[in-house]
Homo-oligomer: A and B are copies of this chain.
């Protein structure tokens, strides 16, 4: 049993004294001290158990014994850099490659999703000889300076937002809240055409596109699932302009989506990115990550004349841990579990939506699920404060969930992959109770929103009859709420 070194009060005091104040804790009004964790459960200093619905890094379960043992054994033997030959490195590269389309065959091992995405940019710049990057609105790709530049999720937090002239922001392909919605006849083409427009405008200014980068499913951006076919069409436009496609799988890879090992594969077999970046779940918490690309891109990177060396990247311990994670995913059929339990959870939540006016949308693939809270169903006004309320009340019931997205109103499920149907039952039952209480307090009832739904359908019919695309500008309706909540999370 783990014990405390300091009282919780003292831990908080020392944290304030010695840790950068920009580094925020969860539940800043009343943070949690966690001393141990196992599977999908975390335990505080009083040994109270929390159900963990958010730690996608502890992918195969917190402190999985096989992963711990693989790491410990290798640490005892050898941990050194990749300038020495070692079997773990090549064996791991071989195993990772086997999960990917054949042409994605060359690996670079690094230490974090940020290092991976930065290297992806360097590969793209070198391969294309171009400078400009197209990124999605609300995207988050990492914390190093080159990635802050391409992360609207981050640079919008700035008191004086600015971004590089070489960065172009395309609309997020969000069919619930975005520019083209679920009732649009072909949102994939419409969103891809916006990327095409961006390319044309960039060309008109003499700029050249090096890459389009997107998470295969936007996570911090609000658990957004792009319409099928979007990536193919974007890739076509971008490649025609001499650029390449970078799929960021840092948050969503390694079987989480259930049907596939990689989330970009949800787009169909005819889509293959030029670069895939990995991170968070890859080492179940161990600092490691990887960039995989084609032989062509890798050869071009070498032709610059500059070597690439990463002190810790691809060391024997990281690779041993990475191999153990792949083994456990397979042995325990965690991808299958994500499909089954994720599907079960999504169904439960969809039933909940029928009874709760605060739930605007349920969307998910496997154990990547978003619950978007809104104040009403027509305007889709983000229920930001309510989402905060829900996660704090859940925490009191010892369930860990977070709220994210540009309006911080999307409840994000991304639990360890050993999450069970019983866990889903418990979490949904508690959310049900909390939403009921909140709706009662707010005087919200289902009939009101049912009317909204009818009104919504009606408005859509009229617009469509008149040949208009159904667009709404409600994204900006709630500026005050957005701003006051902007600084609470990363």
Contacts and interface: CB of A to CB of B under 8 A. Distances in A.
Query: Among the interface residues A21, A42, A315, which one has the most CB atoms of the partner chain B within 10 A?
Result: A21
Interface in A1-47: 2, 4-6, 8, 11-12, 14-15, 17-26, 31-37, 42
Interface of A: 2, 4-6, 8, 11-12, 14-15, 17-26, 31-37, 42, 55, 57-58, 62-63, 65, 67-68, 71-72, 75-87, 89-91, 93-94, 97, 105-108, 111-115, 118-119, 121-122, 125, 143-146, 148, 154-155, 157-159, 279-280, 284-288, 293, 298-299, 301-315, 317-318, 486-487, 489-490
12 contacts: A2-B77, A22-B301, A26-B84, A42-B84, A67-B75, A72-B75, A122-B145, A122-B148, A143-B308, A157-B304, A158-B305, A285-B312
A16 to B, nearest CB: 9
B84 A18 contact: no
Report how many copies the assembly holds: 2
B78 A72 contact: no
A121 B118 CA distance: 15
Nearest to A83: B26
Contacts of A23: 82, 108, 307-310, 314
A236 to B, nearest CB: 27
A307 B151 CA distance: 13
Contacts of A122: 145, 148
A23 to B, nearest CB: 5
Contact of A84 (B19, B34, B309): B34
A367 B170 CA distance: 52
Contacts of A11: 85-87, 90
A35 B26 CA distance: 41
Contacts of A317: 285-286
A118 B87 CA distance: 32
Contacts of A157: 304-307
A83 B15 CA distance: 11
Contacts of A489: 307
Given A85-B34, A115-B115, A306 B12 contact: no
Contacts of A5: 87, 91
A225 B24 CA distance: 39
A79 B91 contact: no
A132 to B, nearest CB: 14
A81 B107 CA distance: 26
Contact of A20 (B106, B146, B285): B106
A93 B31 contact: no
A80 B93 contact: no
Q: Which of A17, A76, A144 has the most CB of B within 10 A?
A: A144
A151 B300 CA distance: 21
A16 B321 CA distance: 22
A144 B159 contact: no
A312 B313 CA distance: 14
Contacts of A315: 285, 287
User: Top 4 A-B pairs ranked by shortest CB distance?
Assistant: A309-B490, A14-B90, A72-B72, A18-B93
A142 to B, nearest CB: 9
B18 A311 contact: no
A394 to B, nearest CB: 16
Contacts of A19: 82, 89-90, 93, 106-108, 314
Given A89-B15, A108-B20, A115-B111, A76 B84 contact: no
Given A85-B32, A106-B18, A158 B306 contact: yes
A84 B25 contact: yes
A279 B97 CA distance: 30
Contacts of A91: 5-6, 14
